[in-house]
Chain A
């Protein structure tokens, strides 16, 4: 079945440093979604990318979808302690409803 690999598994940064997590698939994706899960919380939707080469920004967060629609990245500029959590990418088969999540990247930010 569809597999989505996400790296790194963990990232520790000093507050103010940048952070990037990468998501890779062996197959072409119809879309990619990103979620954030705070410690002890539930996943919360951040964004969905659909188009090849798409780039979307949300304040300090930049999301990219690769040209071949097989990879995606989330970049956070100048991390803050509020960015702490686990970031997941997820691929959805829109027609069939199946959903595959990456294993997540857990970000810790040292003040």
Chain B
């Protein structure tokens, strides 16, 4: 089944403790992207990747890192999480930046 998977789905952590949210897609898509969703603010793009080893900042990249070593994986790294990074995170992939397929989301709480 074609899908985008994210892990973990839920995470509660403390300020400053490094964490990684994994994202994987099995559709051989070149484009992948991370978004955060906050009430009243819609979806805001954090980082995106047009292909392996190519990543670019979205609108809200501060406090996040990404890597794209393989086509199927696009992990989101928070080196030192802070409470303002408490949010719902979505990973998405696309063949040509057209139809984006979203993962199920990761709800992160930073205390």
Contact = CB atoms under 8 A, between A and B. Distances in A.
Contact of B103 (A1, A42, A102): A42
Interface string B39-57: 0111111001110000010
Interface residues of B, number: 27
**Among B42, B49, B59, which residue has the most Cβ atoms of chain A within 10 A?**
B42
Contact of B56 (A43, A48, A96): A96
B90 A99 contact: no
B42 A48 contact: no
A100 B50 CA distance: 16
A98 interface: yes
Contact of A101 (B31, B42, B49, B99): B42
Interface in A76-107: 88, 90, 92, 94, 96-104
Nearest to A42: B102
Contact of B97 (A1, A92, A100, A103): A92
